[in-house]
Structure 1
Amino acid sequence: MMSHVDFDDYLLQMTVWWRSLFPLCYILSCVQLYCASSQVPQKAKYNYSLRLTRLTRTGVQRLLNTYNEQQLGNKDFENRSLRLSSLPLLSTEFDSWLRLTDWERLRTASWDLHTYWDMLERKRKQLEGAEGEQMAGQQGQSTMTLLQSIKNIQLDLRDLMKQVSFQMSHMNSSSVNPTASTPSQNPPPSYQPPSNLTWASRVEGYIILRDLNLYLIKLARDFLLLASKIQL
């Protein structure tokens, strides 16, 4: 039978033991909470990028209809055979697409978004120069609205570029492959510009917006895949 003194010693030892165990439990709990909290914002960022991509595509679709109506005289103008070699590839083999690392996926997205932004910037300046002497009346107002719509899409693309850049900066550098994929390369263009350079320039704008619309579908799939890989 345990004496009163032995029982007091036993209680003292148990108290010391629990006090030593409590900080360890607390630390483990904090680590678990930190790991969970670090995953939630990253998944939320991918989901935000996905929503922004879809909203941007909706704006591009509206802009494409307006551009075709004003610049080509037909809002339903379509010619899928026309290509520009300076634009990113839209088609990727499914297996190759799945094998991309997260870093490769984001880095390619960064390159491609910059390419589309630059192409829209060049086209916007061309339109400003070509229409500069005709900025009067209803036609001038329509052109100004078109130029503003292009700027709005550029702002959306810039937001997407910032999102991608932020996600890349927070990715574990140990997962980076220095021999990762190179920028997209396109085959030689199948489109030969007609003799009327003004018409060729207008059609070029159609190709840029058409491919951007399709590219944003591809980008949305990338963000959807990245978000789905984070398990909570």
Structure 2
Amino acid sequence: MSAEAEEVAHDTVEAAVRAQLAKAFGGVRGIIEAAVPTIAFTLSWIFTEDLKISLIISVSLAVVLLVARIAQRSTPQFVINSLIGIAIGAFFASRTGDAKDYFLPGILWNAGYSVAMLLSIVTRWPVVGFLIGSVTGDPTAWHKDPGIVRLCAKLTWMLLIPCVIRVAVQLPVWLFGGGDEAVAALGFAKIVMGWPLQVAALGAMLWLLGRGRTPIKSPVAPA
């Protein structure tokens, strides 16, 4: 769909952001696909204490989910994202031989994402604003409207908070925990603080978006 068609379909900032968020979250199936490999790795490690077997089961399940997406000709984007994260976690754990390092890339990702979003808010270029830019065809025109900047800053805070919570809970477990208890705790935390927190953030964002109707202003064409 062209930028002009998108703008006709979404004549307000709130409608445009709602539509883009719906695409980004992937629905119930995306939630399940993200959780299954982590659950499999955690349970496999608890029952076998064999890192190699646990990694093979986790990665294999992610590949099966990817093949299913391709066979059904549905978008594999969410499975691919999950598979990349799983593969990186498997690499870390296999290199160190410590099962809890499977969860380290996710912790680092959330920490980096938190810092990037905080910087975007502080510099008044909140990342959610670029969702509007993807609809209008001009990635920066939204920044000229202080009201839109404030709205996007609030929405970016709502995306940032779950990332901060994940790091605050999981990092101490990774640093100071050991053995089966640490792996089980990290696996449980990753599942509970993954999509459930993200869905809660989405609900809060949709609530905020439902309260306003900010018109989308097309970028002014040069004379």
TM-score normalised per structure 1:
0.36
Q: Name which one, 1 or 2, has greater alpha-carbon Rg.
A: 1
Higher relative contact order (CA 8 A, sep 6+): 1
TM-score normalised per structure 2:
0.37
